[in-house]
Structure 1
Amino acid sequence: MLKRKRQRKYLVKRCLELRDQLHTFAASGSQEALHKLRVEIKKLKAFSKLTKLYRGEGDVTIKKDIKQIFHRAGVIREASINLQMIKQFDIHQPVFNIKATNIIQQETGKFRLNKTHYDHDITNMVKSFLRSLRPVHNRSIKHWFTRQLRKIAAVFATASTGQFHEARKRIKYLVYVHGILHGRLTAALSLDIDYLIQVQDAIGKWHDTTVAVELLTAYKASNKTKISRLRKEQDKAAKAVHAIGNGFWDKVLKRDG
């Protein structure tokens, strides 16, 4: 059983880490801190999925205020990544550079102005989680993991890339929730977490090439050679995802011996 004490310890750790990254980003504008801030919110989202297993109790959802923090951080993060992309793929677009840089500066300024408010929002959200904690039976957790794994496996049963992003989100939730569980339960689940992370990374590489293709198409359409080369990389990355995802169910479950 996943006891309240273990859940409480996990939530307090998440709260402290999230607030730390919030203050670090507000002070320095560090993109790494911003990335970690978003990861911490994703971990809380994963935890909210777990609360749906509480019998006879309403699940605790991520509040609108926290979703707003996540969204605003995402706007800054996306602009920063796009700047990295156009530099990496040598896309000469001064107007785009200026626009993305302005977004980062303006949104970072807003973030700093709202730091204290965001800090309170985070603390209040975690407090609401702490008030609602209930123990979760092992069988409920096992059933939840099985449902998620079947949905991921279904993505790799098709030749489409349309559900890659959704599969990646589910994998992240599984990995985050797995990190909350005690040793006996993780042993009983027999999941190959390293394999799940490899699948997630493969989808991440495909996503990066997809974004690069979109940027090149939008801002450097005349360079057909570069676009063609990058689309080949995109296809290669998609094939790599399907290759590692082939036989997903057998690969993700550890076998004795």
Structure 2
Amino acid sequence: MPSPLQKYFAQRVKNLFNHLHDFDVSAEEGALHDLRVELKKLRAVIKFLQQVYSKQKLKKPAHLLRTIFQQAGEIREYQLLQQWLRKYHLKVLEERYFPAERLHEMNADFRKQAPAFKNDLKEIIELSGRFVAHTNGILAEQYFADLHAQLQEKTSADLPSREWHDLRKLIKQWMYALNWVVPEEVGAKESVLAYFNKLQEQIGQWHDLEMVKEAFSQKQIYLSQDMEVQKDFALAWEKLTHSLKYRERQVVEMLAAQQVVS
């Protein structure tokens, strides 16, 4: 009988090819988001396997998967940036610095590579699947317990904002690993799961804004002498600063509430 990890891995394989095909056909934002989620879940499995066996044995599948994920991530970040600019009607900044044409180019380039990505995914699945098939379920439960202990330790401390994104990655890894253990363990962690899921969502919203801030910095928009750009940038910075403070406060409050979580 397949272990929870084997079932989880098999579902990832099915979903990955479906979502890659959907994006290749439609180039829709939702299809790319779904693809990235599946890539994250598969990366989580490989990261676990690297703890059980050795990083060297899984070096190639990890590298291939990271390459696909990074390219999909660049498109996703650009999509989020454009959404934020359009939300506040910052047309000048969008047209001068973050044009829609660039997103079309990125999508087209990704779709051109779809056949190569499919071959890479097949190799990733073949190489990592061998380890999944021979991994004892007890090891997955031990790994899950270790992740949970790490989460409890990190969220019990006064965590600086520079460590929030890494905390979110740890939460995601823990949430994915929850699918690899026995159902009884899942039921016992329902209230904790609700807390950590909400926390990682709050950190994600904060990190999206940090990404917008970084994009502005890289383009050095603040140096522009164009009056239209200055006007848009002043409004953008006001909205960004206000939103960041709000999101930061939400994360801080959630971290402060950790002691009520069992």
Would you call these one fold, judging by a TM-score over 0.5? yes
Structure 1: runs of 5 or more not aligned: none
Q: CA deviation at 1:228?
A: 3.4
Matches within 5 A, 1:5-24: 5-24=3-22
TM-score (norm 1): 0.82
Equivalent residue, structure 1, for 2:158 = 157
After superposition, give the CA deviation of every residue in 1:121-149 in whole Å (9 maximum; x if it has no partner). 11221121221121132662354223431
Q: CA deviation at 1:246?
A: 1.1
* Aligned 8 A contact 1:149 1:249 in 2: no
Q: CA deviation at 1:249?
A: 5.0
After superposition, give the CA deviation of every residue in 1:149-169 in whole Å (9 maximum; x if it has no partner). 145315x514x3111111111
AA partner of residue 148 (structure 1): Q
Paired residue for 1:58, among 32, 39, 54?
A: 54
Matches within 5 A, 1:111-130: 111-130=110-129
Greater share of helix: 2
Asked if 1:36 is matched to 2:34, the reply is: yes
TM-score (norm 2): 0.81
Per the alignment, do residues 230 and 130 of structure 1 end up closer, same or farther by CA in structure 2, a change over 3 Å counting?
Answer: closer
AA partner of residue 26 (structure 1): D
Aligned partners of 1:52 and 1:226: how far apart in 2?
43
Per the alignment, do residues 74 and 130 of structure 1 end up closer, same or farther by CA in structure 2, a change over 3 Å counting?
Answer: same
After superposition, give the CA deviation of every residue in 1:47-103 in whole Å (9 maximum; x if it has no partner). 12322453xx335454322211111111211121111111112222222243xx233
Identity of aligned residues (%): 21
Equivalent residue, structure 2, for 1:85 = 84
Q: CA deviation at 1:214?
A: 5.0
Per the alignment, do residues 106 and 6 of structure 1 end up closer, same or farther by CA in structure 2, a change over 3 Å counting?
Answer: same
* Aligned 8 A contact 2:144 2:174 in 1: no
After superposition, give the CA deviation of every residue in 1:145-204 in whole Å (9 maximum; x if it has no partner). 2343145315x514x311111111111111111123221232455662111111111112
Per the alignment, do residues 75 and 209 of structure 1 end up closer, same or farther by CA in structure 2, a change over 3 Å counting?
Answer: closer
AA partner of residue 157 (structure 1): D
* Aligned 8 A contact 1:164 1:203 in 2: yes
| 1:58 aligned counterpart, secondary structure | coil
Aligned partners of 1:116 and 1:227: how far apart in 2?
41
Alignment size in residue pairs: 244
Equivalent residue, structure 2, for 1:196 = 196
Per the alignment, do residues 171 and 146 of structure 1 end up closer, same or farther by CA in structure 2, a change over 3 Å counting?
Answer: closer
Aligned partners of 1:150 and 1:246: how far apart in 2?
12
Aligned partners of 1:216 and 1:36: how far apart in 2?
27
Calculate the aligned-residue CA RMSD, in Å: 2.6
Q: CA deviation at 1:226?
A: 5.5
Equivalent residue, structure 2, for 1:140 = 142
